[in-house]
Every structure is written in structure tokens, then in C-alpha cells.
């Protein structure tokens, strides 16, 4: 296979601005098939904008975004989005659809046969640790936050997209549920081998999930590498995030009494 066929997503000199405000500046980034790249950064650093450029929710002001070696300009947006699963923090489940209907929405749009959709829904629920017999016919308001998030991940995976975009999907959960879902997602990724682009502002989550970490700062990618390499980075923004790993050692809260 040629090198290009190993690349799932590529940004070439991509900038994005809105209302004369620069959100991304000259982003160059290559994402390989099967890797989980975590975009880490503070609010407003350009993480979510980068994610939205992949499935053409936004178009670059300058530069080119390629998905499967094809510019997003040349993709039919509907076909592109059906190749890309999307899981977000507030989940976006349809409240008037039950769990089964929510998970099956993209396969339905793809005109899958009913029995195939039903089988896929059951498979996805088992995959994310929810018993199909118990949860398939419940509605979103009958689920806990963690359960809704699991359904959101199941829905993003239902049509078997090769690329999965995740925008702080566990950010609103309590720490214990969040850790459980991070561990489960990491296990899922070893099974499924998807290309995942995961946005977070939590360095522990980045270290837990990322094959590589891309650190965003004021619209620029200021670091890209493994978690071990991140720990060696001397960039001030990297050091600020590293300090969050062990704030007590940094003396940020004063001495204990």
C-alpha cells in the first residue's frame, strides 16, 4: 500500500477565520488510520473548529482538509458525514426516539433492512455495556447521564464509520463514571481499530486515550507527539497542562496542615 493510503485525515496549511477573527492558523496535521489522536487545549484554542473541518460542518478559509485522500471541497457533505461518526458532550439524542431508534438513525438513513438494523442496535448496546433487553426501548429521559453518553457512542458507531470524531464526550459526567467510560472506550478502540479524533481539555483523559496528543494554543498546533514526549516538552502551554497532573507537588495549594 502506498503511504497516502495509510492516511485517514490530513490538514494542509489550513486556516479558518470568522468575522475577521483568526480561529486556526496554518494547521498542518496528518492523522493515520487506526490511531486515536487527542486534541488537547483550553477553551477557544481551536480544537472543536479543527474537528468540524473534518466532516465539513465548517470549510477552511485557506488550505485543504483531506479525508481519504479527497478534499472536503470535493466530498458530498451527506456522504462524508455518514462515513464519520460524531459523539459530543451533550450527546444530542432525539428525545422523542427511544434508544433503539436513536442508535439506528444512520443505518435507517442508509436504507439498511429492518432486521439488520435491529441486530446492529443489539450489537452496539452490548458493545457499550448496556443490556439490549433492558435499554433498547427506553427513552433518553429514562437514562442516567452515563447511560445517555454510552448510547451516544453506540449511535456514532452504528453505521460502522471508519472515522470517529469525539468532542469532549465525557466532559459533563461525574469523575467515576467518566473514568469508567474512558476505560471502556480505550478497550473498544483496541477491538474496533477506528481512526479517532478526540477533543478534550483534560490532560489525564488525553494521556489515557491518545496514541498521540496534539496541543492547541490560540489557534496553533504547538505540540504533536506521544504522552511520553509531551512530558518532555518545554513549551509553556505544555508545562501548564503538565502542572495539572500533580498540582500538590507544584505547591499550587500551599502546604498541608
Please provide the DSSP assignment of 188-214 as one string.
HHHHH--EEEEEES-HHHHHHH-SEEE
The pLDDT of residue 3: 43
121/100 Cα distance (integer angstroms): 6
Backbone conformation region of residue 129, classed left if phi is above 0, alpha if psi is from -120 to 50, else beta: left
The pLDDT of residue 5: 66
213/157 Cα distance (integer angstroms): 22
The pLDDT of residue 187: 85
The pLDDT of residue 249: 53
All three cell numbers of 250, joined, read: 507544584
The pLDDT of residue 235: 96
Q: What's the predicted TM-score (pTM) here? A: 0.87
Give me the average pLDDT of each 10-residue run along the chain (257 residues): 70 95 96 96 94 95 96 93 82 89 90 93 90 94 89 89 89 82 85 91 92 96 96 95 75 47
Which of 60, 46, 49, 47 minimizes the C-alpha distance to 12? 60
The domain locations on the chain are: 92-161
The pLDDT of residue 177: 81
Q: Cell 495509510 belongs to which residue?
A: 6
Amino acid at each position: 500500500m502506498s503511504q497516502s493510503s495509510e492516511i485517514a485525515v490530513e490538514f494542509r496549511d489550513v486556516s479558518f477565520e470568522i468575522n475577521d477573527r483568526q480561529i486556526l492558523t496554518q494547521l498542518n496535521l496528518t492523522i493515520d488510520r487506526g490511531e486515536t489522536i487527542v486534541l488537547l487545549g483550553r477553551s477557544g484554542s481551536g480544537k472543536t473548529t479543527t474537528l468540524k473541518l473534518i466532516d465539513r460542518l465548517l470549510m477552511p478559509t485557506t488550505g485543504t482538509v483531506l479525508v481519504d485522500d479527497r478534499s472536503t471541497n470535493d466530498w458530498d457533505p451527506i456522504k462524508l458525514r455518514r462515513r464519520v461518526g460524531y459523539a459530543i458532550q451533550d450527546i444530542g439524542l432525539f428525545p422523542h426516539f427511544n434508544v433503539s431508534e436513536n442508535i439506528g438513525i444512520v443505518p435507517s438513513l442508509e436504507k439498511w433492512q429492518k432486521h439488520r438494523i435491529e441486530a446492529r442496535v443489539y450489537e452496539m448496546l452490548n458493545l457499550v455495556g448496556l443490556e439490549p433487553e433492558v435499554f433498547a426501548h427506553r427513552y433518553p429521559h429514562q437514562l442516567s447521564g452515563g447511560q445517555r453518553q454510552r448510547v451516544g457512542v453506540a449511535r456514532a458507531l452504528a453505521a460502522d464509520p471508519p472515522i470517529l470524531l469525539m468532542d469532549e464526550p465525557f466532559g459533563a459526567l461525574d469523575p467515576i463514571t467518566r473514568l469508567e467510560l474512558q476505560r471502556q472506550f480505550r478497550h473498544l478502540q483496541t477491538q474496533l481499530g477506528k481512526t479517532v479524533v478526540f477533543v478534550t481539555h483534560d490532560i489525564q483523559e488525553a494521556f489515557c486515550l491518545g496514541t498521540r496528543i496534539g496541543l492547541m494554543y490560540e489557534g496553533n498546533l504547538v505540540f504533536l507527539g506521544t504522552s511520553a514526549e509531551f512530558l518532555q516538552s518545554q513549551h509553556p502551554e505544555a508545562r501548564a497542562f503538565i502542572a495539572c497532573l500533580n498540582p500538590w507537588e507544584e505547591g499550587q495549594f500551599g502546604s498541608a496542615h
